[in-house]
Amino acid sequence: MPDVAANSVLLVSPTALAVAPAAGGPLAGMPILLKDNIETADMPTTAGSLALSHNAPGRDAPLAARLRAAGAIIIGKANLSEWANIRSSESISGWSAVGGQTRNPYDPERTPCGSSSGSAVAVAIGLVPVAIGTETDGSITCPASVTGVVGFKPTVGLVSRTHIVPISHSQDTAGPMATTVEDAARVLTVIAGSDPMDPATAEADARKVDYAAALDADSLRGARIGVMRFLLPNYSEETRAAFETALRAMRDAGAEIVDITEAPADFRRIGGWELTVLLTELKHDLNLYLASTNPAQVRTRTLADVIAFNAAEPRETVLFGQDLFERAEATGGLDDPEYVEARTNSLRAAGPEGIDRMMAEHQVVALVAPTTSRAWTNDREDEDDMQGSASRLAAVAGYPHLTVPMGFDRGMPVGISFIAGKWEDAKVLSLGHAFEQRTLARRPPGATVH
């Protein structure tokens, strides 16, 4: 097995083969990997951290239980950026103390992005047709884009987060990563639904549909698509060129392309508000999660305990520290006026006055932009860094965001993002499916790229 394949997988299920003969249902026999922050009864759930290396509470997350009931075979756990990239502002995408460094299969010297890096790479190299990732902001869509696969971040509240190691109850969600939109839609149909243990999912049963059945390869015809041109200066020249080719393909498919040149009013302030929300909720939510684990297996019972563990464990801090954990520990809780103001402002600016207003004022059914540019190098000393991102508005608003392969930037895959309003998951998937079927832009690692 190639080194990059090994580094995309943390654990192999000891029960997968035993379960396989009895598999049945809409996903019968489909092998699936779960990001290793999602609990299963048969494997530990580490979030890539040595502090959780023995965390095996013997329970399936509702998401995992739904997959098993549908006949899917959970074959193992995928590597990830440790603690889903929230430990340090200097964290390395795809690295965890438990799993080491996941590599981008198109160029091992370039990042797989994070934090669902192992999930993306496993799909890209064909280990599994579908893997489950999680996203708080860009953690499904970025790794999917830079490894040439489909990634879908659902509306927050469509998929249960119970028994998933958390960052933020405002923004966290799990979602599928696949080689096709159709496979992502099939899996979403299974994992979507209400969960009494996750209040955010109260509307999920009433909102969910058969997402695969709702796909329409002709859905771009007559659709008004808004282009978030105010984002484009941030991307590389090559990615911008690939994006213009993608827009021509959509026009050829019958879409009307509408340029949106002005950013939402508070667009530049959203990032600061978002960080306040994430750090405050991290302390609250992670403390609750750790309290739910088995104390005989997990000695770190609070975020403060994890910080102390890391400080005493050289294998954790060999590459970077934990400044974000330390800032989170210093936050004042969910009643802190700074947090309450930041959450109110960020939701307003990203949702009603962001995505919703742009769609209404320009009378478009979805928004598009490049997901990000080519994967940047793993060398911190060079100037080849991340260029552009379409994830923040949908992440903060909690709205659906799909990335689909659209082309290449210096031989590295790049994706196009489709974004729309809350609960418009089926529409986003259908538009992305229509684009995918029109362009067939994906090329697996090792294939000739022109």
Locate 419 and state its tokens: 């974004």
Q: How far apart are CA 378 and CA 385, in angstroms?
A: 9
Q: How far apart are CA 331 and CA 337, in angstroms?
A: 11
Q: How far apart are CA 253 and CA 247, in angstroms?
A: 10
CA dihedral 188→192→197→198, nearest 10 degrees, is 80
Q: How far apart are CA 422 and CA 433, in angstroms?
A: 19
Distances (CA, A) of 117 to 219, 264, 313: 30, 30, 24
Sign of CA dihedral 193, 197, 199, 202: positive
Locate 305 and state its tokens: 């305990």
Degrees to nearest 5, angle at CA 402 with 396 and 403: 115
Q: Is 391 an active-site residue?
A: no
Pairing of strands 31-35, 73-78: parallel
Helices (H) and strands (E) in the chain, counts: 16, 13
Catalytic residue among 116, 139, 389, 391: 139
Degrees to nearest 5, angle at CA 202 with 73 and 425: 65
How many Cβ atoms sit within 10 Å of the Cβ of residue 114? 25
| H helices present in 116-180, as ranges | 117-124, 141-146
Burial label, 377 (beta-carbon count in 10 A; 0-12, 13-18, 19+) = middle
Locate 64 and state its tokens: 């995992």
Partners of 368 in beta bridges: 227, 418
Q: CB–CB of 99/118 below 8 Å?
A: yes
Burial label, 444 (beta-carbon count in 10 A; 0-12, 13-18, 19+) = middle
Strand ranges in 232-318 using DSSP code E only, listed in sequence order = 256-260
Catalytic residue among 49, 91, 96, 115: 115
Q: Is 35 an active-site residue?
A: yes
For the annotated catalytic residues, the residue numbers are 35, 115, 139
